[in-house]
Amino acid sequence: MQSLSRKVLRQTLRQARRELQGSARTEKEATILRSITQHPRLKRLRHLALYWPNDGEVDLRPLLNMGAAQQRYLPILVRGSRLRFAPWTASSSLHFNHFGIPEPRVNPRKLLRPTQLDAVLMPLVGFDEHGNRLGMGGGFYDRSFAFRHARRSWRKPLLIGVAFELQRCPPLPAAAWDIPLDGIVTEHGLRLFQRI
């Protein structure tokens, strides 16, 4: 029954996220982008991973070409179930993965492992006040960052969920394989959780 409720919650939140349109969406996304670029902790980072928006997710693409001191990365599916991160430049060519999401076309030797990143801005469907994240259901981020279960004090990379406030949920049950967020950014600002 719990999986059914997660499925219904996922459908409801995805629909609400897609329905946010026009100036309301534009204003909220601009506020989210400002919170990210002005946060002192994020300004100091060298290797920052973003995502290409899909299915109504917050659009972070303006960040791809901002901040010359930081290298930006986009996720790439490898072996169908894990993520590696490709460096992004304005001249990067893109191709579509099997979900129809653009990925940079790069030499595999240039891909970074998740442990090599300083921070990751992660898409999500829902989140709660404890840092639990409801994703699309594929488990790609959880599998890719599973190394954090081995050491609870792991501080790198910083995992920050990106969402609209309408995606906030009551407490979400966490499965053993779920990787909690270190922070969340919405149109209400960027907040790191107490464990950081």
Higher confidence at residue 157 or residue 80?
A: 157
Give the mean model confidence (pLDDT) for residues 81-100.
92
Query: 123, 51 in Cβ contact below 8 A?
Result: yes
Q: Is the pLDDT assigned to residue 25 strictly greater than 50? A: yes
At 156-176, the pLDDT tens digits run 899 999 999 999 999 998 888
Share of the chain above pLDDT 90, in %: 76
Q: Is the pLDDT assigned to residue 20 strictly greater than 90? A: yes
Query: 140, 81 in Cβ contact below 8 A?
Result: yes
pLDDT of residue 70: 85
Give the mean model confidence (pLDDT) for residues 58-66.
92
- Torsion-angle region of 11 (φ positive above 0: left; ψ -120 to 50: alpha; else: beta): alpha
Tell which CATH classification among 1.20.1730.10, 3.40.50.10420, 2.60.300.12, 1.10.10.10 matches the domain 2-192: 3.40.50.10420
Which residues are 86's β-sheet partners? 74
The SS3 call for residue 37 is helix
pLDDT of residue 196: 47
The SS3 call for residue 183 is strand
Give the mean model confidence (pLDDT) for residues 181-195.
92
pLDDT of residue 175: 85
At 91-138, the pLDDT tens digits run 899 999 988 999 999 999 999 999 999 999 999 999 999 999 999 988
Domain limits of the chain? 2-192
Under the banding of pLDDT at 50, 70 and 90, the label for residue 149 is confident
Under the banding of pLDDT at 50, 70 and 90, the label for residue 153 is low
Give pTM, 2 decimals. Answer: 0.93
DSSP track, 18-36: HH--HHHHHHHHHHHHHHH
